Amino acid sequence: MIIRKATEKDIHQWSEMRTALWPKTDDGHIAEIKEYFSGSSIDIVQAYIADVGSEIIGFLELNIRNYAEGSRLSKLPYIEAWYIKPEHQGKGYGKLLIQQAEQWAISQGYSELASDTEIDNHRSISIHRHLGFLETERIVCFLKRLRNV
């Protein structure tokens, strides 16, 4: 088992896992992953892959955000996606991905790492707490699309 930076050869397996995490997609997230590799992504600044043998079983994506609930920092690393295939969950692979994210954040000079999950995702909330994350807030977010004036 190794945790490593994502490479272009991972696009299709990474895409399949992203689609398992977020099924509503037109292209299987291929365009977003390609943006990461071209350096034009606004959502992913660093991505890691969990690799067991020749099988990719998980991934973690980091971004730098200007704000995270509970933080006073003006910029901080944010876990945008974190996924382990169901048949590999509970074996510590997710923890290894988080530890890699922490190491990366520290190497970049950051002192905090932020994340989120759906308000009813009790398993994810429990795992975050187990790994040392502190819950800072519970919110319901809204967005209203405005007509072009």
Cα 98 from chain centroid (whole Å): 9
Say if strands 2-5 and 55-65 run parallel, antiparallel, or are unpaired. Answer: unpaired
* % of the chain exceeding 90 in pLDDT: 93
Average confidence score pLDDT of the chain: 96
φ, ψ of residue 68 in degrees (nearest 5): -145, 135
pLDDT tens-digit readout, 27-48: 999 999 999 999 999 999 999 9
Query: Where does the pLDDT of residue 102 fall: very low under 50, low under 70, confident under 90, or very high at 90 and above?
Result: very high
Single-letter code of the amino acid located at 146: L
State residue 52's pLDDT score: 94
Contacts of 115 (CB under 8 A, 6+ apart): 78, 79, 82, 128, 133
| pTM higher than the cut 0.85 | yes
The answer on pLDDT for 1 being more than 90 is no
CA distance from start to end of the chain: 54
H/E segment holding residue 5: strand 2-5
Residues written for the chain: 149
Q: Which of 3.40.50.300, 3.40.50.10470, 3.40.630.30, 3.40.640.10 is the CATH number of 2-130? A: 3.40.630.30
Residues 86-94 have a mean pLDDT of: 96
Single-letter code of the amino acid located at 62: L
State residue 71's pLDDT score: 96
For 23, the token pair is 């099924």
pLDDT tens-digit readout, 108-120: 999 999 999 999 9
DSSP string across 50-111: EEETTEEEEEEEEEEES--TT---SSEEEEEEEEE-GGGTTSSHHHHHHHHHHHHHHHTT-S
